[in-house]
């Protein structure tokens, strides 16, 4: 069984608007820390995720059913230790839930104790909260990359490593 991260959110919007918000760069840039995807959005088409710092992930569209379901295969391109885990699989599923929509994001990775899943597990709640705010209020939060959970974790790790190195130097 691969490890998986699952997140469900309910949004007051239409399938058309949610689909556009998930796929179109002018929307994703607003709520996804400035990121955008590039693809022809057809089965087996190549897929790329870019962020303000450049190419983040590359992969392929595995399955696509407009306004219902999108499955993409992700390979991290920005950090060697994440790339070494191989592909992860990300599924967006949209269902009507009364007068709202239920969006389920499932991100799976076969690597044991996956660092990719640890990172997306921190990132998706913020991205999807922001997507919901954009669709329901017309405005997303302006979240600088430095304020994202992954960057804050990295900063902490860097500070700890520096502290340890300084301690070691004093011994």
Residues near another protein (CB under 8 A) are 7-12, 95-100, 102, 125-126, 129-130, 132-133, 136-137, 141-143, 147
Token readout for 90 is 């990300």
- In the bound complex, what is the minimum distance in angstroms from residue 23's beta carbon to another protein? 22
- In the bound complex, what is the minimum distance in angstroms from residue 74's beta carbon to another protein? 21
* Nearer residue to another protein within complex by CB, 77 or 93: 93
Residue 107 CA to residue 125 CA, distance in Å, equals 12
What are the contacts of 145-153 at 24+ separation with CB within 8 A? 145/33, 145/34, 145/51, 145/52, 145/53, 148/33, 148/123, 149/122, 149/123, 150/119, 150/122, 150/123, 153/122
Token readout for 41 is 């959005």
- In the bound complex, what is the minimum distance in angstroms from residue 121's beta carbon to another protein? 9
* Nearer residue to another protein within complex by CB, 48 or 115: 115
* Nearer residue to another protein within complex by CB, 27 or 132: 132
- In the bound complex, what is the minimum distance in angstroms from residue 102's beta carbon to another protein? 6
């Amino acid at each position: 069984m691969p490890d998986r991260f699952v997140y469900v959110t309910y949004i007051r919007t239409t399938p058309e608007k949610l689909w556009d918000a998930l796929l179109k760069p002018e929307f994703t840039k607003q709520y996804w820390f400035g990121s955008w995807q590039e693809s022809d959005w057809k089965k087996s088409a190549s897929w790329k995720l870019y962020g303000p710092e450049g190419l983040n992930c590359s992969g392929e569209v595995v399955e696509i059913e407009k306004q219902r379901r999108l499955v993409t295969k992700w390979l991290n391109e920005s950090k060697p230790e994440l790339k070494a885990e191989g592909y992860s699989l990300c599924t967006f599923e949209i269902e009507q839930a009364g007068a709202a929509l239920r969006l389920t994001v499932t991100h799976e990775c076969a690597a044991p104790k996956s660092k990719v899943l640890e990172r997306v597990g921190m990132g998706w709640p913020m991205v999807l909260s922001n997507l919901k705010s954009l669709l329901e209020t017309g405005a997303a939060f302006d979240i600088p990359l430095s304020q994202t959970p992954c960057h804050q974790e990295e900063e902490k790790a860097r500070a700890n490593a520096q502290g340890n190195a300084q301690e070691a130097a004093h011994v």
